[in-house]
Structure 1
Amino acid sequence: MSKKPVVVYGASGYTGQLTCEFLRHYQIPFIAAGRNRERLEEAMKRVPGIETADYELAVVEHDVGALTKLFAGAKVVCNVVGPFLLYGETVVQAALEAGCHYLDTTGEQAFMLDMRDKYSAEFAKRGLYFGPCTAYQNAVMDIACHACAEHEDIDTIEAVTIPAVTPTVGSAHTLVQMARAKEYFLENGQLTAWPPAYSAELTAPFTTRTVLGIPGAGLAPPLWFTSHPRIRNLKALCAFGNRQLAEQIIGINKLYHNELAKLPEEEQVKALAKIADGVQNGMPPRENPLTARNWDTATGSGLTGRVQYTIYSHSGYQQTGLLQAFVASCLLRMTTPPTGFQSPSQAFGYKNVLATLERFGYAKMVKEI
């Protein structure tokens, strides 16, 4: 049973370490959990200021019973173990059984839709928040989309995220495994599947170059707006600052649909995992704000108007750690926390999420039109 209010599951990974770092900033006691004590110990040594944090280590197996036992007594579970299509449901089940709010860093639409349909009502019934996408690549784009949606003449949004990022091992495996799943945009109020291996040339803000936009990078905003009373159309694409990475992901998607999709599912997963190891098999360096610069733009349009918001930011993985800690802090402090399946912007207000990123110096949103 947990004696701390927050459990970080996957704390030995790159994103897990950053989540622990920002929980330390918020002075929130936590348990750093994973499957290997040696890796957990080494990871915590790399967390700045860890000597002032109130934390414990916990070694746990990846099954519902063991995780439920660990989570019992905690209030919030921060799950950073991906790909979530492969590993996420076990943690969702355990958090629900233990009576914990659940956060993760996914943007995998197939996983989100499945978990929403299976568990959202039960989380809400028990007064618990079910918050996937508490991470840079979805939460920041979602801020800009919600800013557009505030304008009453807007019914259509096109959003683009351009992260300057070196993927972690987990992110690389997520990007590759998502070749097996459909990606959706919102059209006339309905989720509509993108064509396999779709891509589009896009203009990067304030540059003379174009970037390659793809839907297969975990983009959740179309899902959050499926029940919006006015926003009927929403397309979201990711255009990595590293064009070679985007081309590599497109090539993997084509390979999957042309060859690997014919294999049994277990063999598909193994084949894609082997490919992912070639994309990234080590921990990337800590982000440098002078080079790890991101753009997230949402353009809203309607019959009588048009508006565009751009969020200029840096260090996306650090933003993810901050967002995890911020949402955990909100859930611990609120007397009536949000419940059920919601994005951070829906649950806590997009202005509050943006203000947190601004306060820590990570982001600034500008109204361009």
Structure 2
Amino acid sequence: MANYPVVVYGASGYTGMLIMDWLIDQNIPFTAVARSARRVQEMMAQRVVRLESATYEIIECEHDVDALTKAFTGAKVVCNTVGPFVNYGLTTVEAALKAGCHHIDTTGEQEYIRAVRDEFGELYRQAGLLVSPSLAYMYSFAEIAAELALEHPGIDALETSTLCRGPREGVAGVTVGSTASIFEMLRARQHYLWDGKLKEHPAHTSFQITSPHFMQPVFALPWGGTSLPIYFENDPRVRSCVSCVGFYDNNVMQSVHQLGYKWEEEYKDLPRTHQDAVIRQVVESTTPSMPPRERTTQVRMVDTAIGRGQLSAVRAEVFGTTAYIATGALQAAAAIKLIDGETHKVGFASGSKAFGHRYLLGFLEERGLARASVTRL
């Protein structure tokens, strides 16, 4: 049973520790939950900033509904970082509901997000609780940009791009968990929103993003479709939403794209256990260990939303730095509101709809993590 208002589940992972950094910064007591208490203690001692001033406890717990329900009971908010979420996420969502907790997480895995909405959205609403996937750099920054564009009358179609540079070229610096989620997308269907309905992207869809901030076009992919088409599907303001992700290193993104072709040719029809082995091998070869903490001098992002109406257009951009650190800040920003009972929505809702995109943007801006710009076209 948790003695503090916030649970960080997946506490020994990279993102979980960054969430704890921000909870400590905001003087919020927390319960760290993971499969191994010893691993959590070791990693917190190495990685968590200002740990000596924290109020916290550690609970060791297996990943099943009953055990997690017991561990979460007593808290108000569960911050979940355990992925790939399409494999593990719904167990945690169910446990948080049974424990009477709000549930927020850090993934943009579209298949999982649709399942959360369809299987748990109404149950959470009836319980007066919020379930909000994807409250993280990806794709909260892009959603904030989209909401800034939607502030302008007449906008009803959105195109968003999430463009990132890591500490080294390409996807280097991405965490083990994120890498696993990326390659899980190889066997997932990817959707965009068109005229109010979800449509599946054709196989091997890609984009060439021309941005005024780069000398060359950036090669981008649907990246599982992202969370945005799901969050805007039932939004009366929005008819269409197409989203993509690109890293500044086009060669690396092309390699990821080619792996999609290889999957279709060699692995698509294999039994799931064989596919699991392939994904594990790719993850281990790509991201063998936890990366170092991000540096603001190296990790840069720009998320853009182009909003169109019949005769109007607007370009909203959110410039950012240190994507994972910003994710920890977003989780803490949400926890503050939920502890105080301040949410605009219960049930299934995005971070921007639950707390307001201006609140999230302001929290990031005040901490040097983001800056927004809006231009009428």
Is the TM-score greater than 0.5?
yes
Determine the structure 1 residue equivalent to 2:32. Answer: 32
Determine the structure 1 residue equivalent to 2:169. Answer: none
Provide, for residues 176-219 of structure 1, a one-character-per-residue CA deviation record: whole Å limited to 9, x for no partner: 01111111111111111112222121124322112111012562
Question: CA separation in 2, counterparts of 1:348 and 1:293?
Answer: 25
**1:290: Cα distance to partner?**
1.3
Question: CA separation in 2, counterparts of 1:12 and 1:322?
Answer: 17
Alpha-carbon contact 1:176-1:273 (below 8 Å) kept: no
Pair 1:124-2:131 in alignment: no
Determine the structure 2 residue equivalent to 1:140. Answer: 141
| 1:21-100 alignment runs, 5 A limit | 21-45=21-45, 46-100=47-101
Q: Indicate the RMSD between aligned Cα atoms, in angstroms.
A: 1.3
Question: CA separation in 1, counterparts of 2:256 and 2:59?
Answer: 35
Pair 1:310-2:311 in alignment: no
| 1:224-235 alignment runs, 5 A limit | 224-235=231-242
For residue 80 of structure 2, what is the amino acid of its counterpart? Answer: N
Q: Aligned with 2:291: secondary structure?
A: coil
Question: CA separation in 2, counterparts of 1:66 and 1:141?
Answer: 35
Question: CA separation in 1, counterparts of 2:77 and 2:114?
Answer: 22
Gaps of 5+ in 1: none
Residues matched between the structures, number:
369
Determine the structure 1 residue equivalent to 2:179. Answer: 172
Pair 1:184-2:184 in alignment: no
For residue 197 of structure 1, what is the amino acid of its counterpart? Answer: H
For residue 316 of structure 1, what is the amino acid of its counterpart? Answer: A
Alpha-carbon contact 2:183-2:283 (below 8 Å) kept: yes
Gaps of 5+ in 2: 167-172
Determine the structure 2 residue equivalent to 1:253. Answer: 260
Alpha-carbon contact 2:337-2:343 (below 8 Å) kept: no
Q: Aligned with 1:259: secondary structure?
A: helix
Question: CA separation in 2, counterparts of 1:336 and 1:174?
Answer: 28
Question: CA separation in 2, counterparts of 1:346 and 1:83?
Answer: 24
Question: CA separation in 1, counterparts of 2:321 and 2:216?
Answer: 19
Normalising by the residue count of structure 1, what TM-score does the alignment of the two structures yield? 0.97
Q: Aligned with 2:165: secondary structure?
A: coil
Determine the structure 1 residue equivalent to 2:370. Answer: 363
For residue 43 of structure 1, what is the amino acid of its counterpart? Answer: M
For residue 37 of structure 2, what is the amino acid of its counterpart? Answer: R
For residue 10 of structure 2, what is the amino acid of its counterpart? Answer: G
Alpha-carbon contact 1:7-1:76 (below 8 Å) kept: yes
For residue 354 of structure 1, what is the amino acid of its counterpart? Answer: L
Provide, for residues 83-110 of structure 1, a one-character-per-residue CA deviation record: whole Å limited to 9, x for no partner: 0011111111111111110010010110
Determine the structure 2 residue equivalent to 1:285. Answer: 292
Question: CA separation in 2, counterparts of 1:126 and 1:217?
Answer: 30
Pair 1:197-2:211 in alignment: no
Question: CA separation in 2, counterparts of 1:6 and 1:271?
Answer: 36
Alpha-carbon contact 2:191-2:224 (below 8 Å) kept: no
Normalising by the residue count of structure 2, what TM-score does the alignment of the two structures yield? 0.95
Question: CA separation in 2, counterparts of 1:158 and 1:21?
Answer: 33
For residue 262 of structure 1, what is the amino acid of its counterpart? Answer: D
Q: Aligned with 2:223: secondary structure?
A: coil
Pair 1:352-2:364 in alignment: no
Q: Aligned with 2:125: secondary structure?
A: helix
Alpha-carbon contact 2:7-2:75 (below 8 Å) kept: yes
Greater displacement, 230-239 / 263-272? 263-272
Q: Aligned with 2:189: secondary structure?
A: coil
Pair 1:267-2:301 in alignment: no
**1:335: Cα distance to partner?**
5.5
| 1:315-334 alignment runs, 5 A limit | 315-334=322-341
Q: Aligned with 1:262: secondary structure?
A: coil
Determine the structure 2 residue equivalent to 1:241. Answer: 248
Provide, for residues 14-36 of structure 1, a one-character-per-residue CA deviation record: whole Å limited to 9, x for no partner: 10110000011111110111112
Question: CA separation in 2, counterparts of 1:92 and 1:240?
Answer: 31
Determine the structure 1 residue equivalent to 2:150. Answer: 149
